[in-house]
């Protein structure tokens, strides 16, 4: 939208970041790309049956609690919603070892839950899987990070 003098009169929406969001962005300041995963429930009967059990997942430690993983996931979702970071589950990091995600306490809990559910004949999801991806700062995110450093 332009005003009569040809200048832009659009209002730029300012996003107020929480302390936790700023702290998370500092991780991306150190490393341009970070791993992110989705914890999936799947069916061995059909390749088309899949459900996201938990996403986005970024681990600070493979011993993170479910509460910590969900809190971090909410921070990531908020940053992605404001286009501060991008999430891409089609592009895993080449030099990243996702073994901590496979061996994490939270993924072990998901596998246990699926194993318990297999005793129910109506239980569709009988396997677990991980979808590896990456996250990075967007241009807006880099601007936000620059403003935080000022």
We report the CATH number of the domain holding residue 38 as: 3.30.110
Q: How far apart are CA 100 and CA 105, in angstroms?
A: 9
- Report the pLDDT value the prediction gives residue 117, as an integer from 0 to 100: 87
Domain enclosing residue 68, as ranges: 19-149
Residue 35 lies in a domain: yes
- Report the pLDDT value the prediction gives residue 80, as an integer from 0 to 100: 97
Listed as ranges, residues in the chain with pLDDT below 50 are 1-12
Residue 3 lies in a domain: no
| Backbone phi and psi for residue 23, each to the nearest 5 degrees, phi listed first | -65, -40
- Report the pLDDT value the prediction gives residue 13, as an integer from 0 to 100: 55
Residue 2 lies in a domain: no
- Report the pLDDT value the prediction gives residue 4, as an integer from 0 to 100: 46
Whose tokens are 């995110």? That residue is 141
- Report the pLDDT value the prediction gives residue 128, as an integer from 0 to 100: 96
- Report the pLDDT value the prediction gives residue 11, as an integer from 0 to 100: 43
Residue 30 lies in a domain: yes
């Amino acid at each position: 939208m332009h005003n009569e003098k040809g200048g832009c009169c659009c209002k730029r929406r300012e996003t107020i970041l929480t302390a936790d969001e700023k702290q998370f962005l500092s991780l991306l300041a150190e490393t341009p790309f970070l791993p992110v995963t989705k914890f999936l429930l799947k069916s061995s009967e059909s390749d088309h049956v899949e459900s996201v059990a938990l996403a986005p997942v970024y681990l600070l430690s493979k011993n993170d609690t479910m509460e910590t993983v969900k809190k971090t996931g909410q921070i990531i979702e908020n940053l992605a919603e404001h286009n501060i970071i991008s999430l891409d589950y089609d592009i895993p990091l080449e030099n990243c070892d996702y073994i901590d995600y496979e061996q994490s306490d939270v993924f072990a809990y998901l596998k246990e839950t699926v194993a318990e559910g297999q005793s129910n004949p109506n239980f569709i999801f009988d396997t677990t899987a991980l979808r590896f991806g990456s996250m990075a700062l967007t241009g807006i995110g880099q601007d936000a990070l620059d403003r935080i450093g000022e």
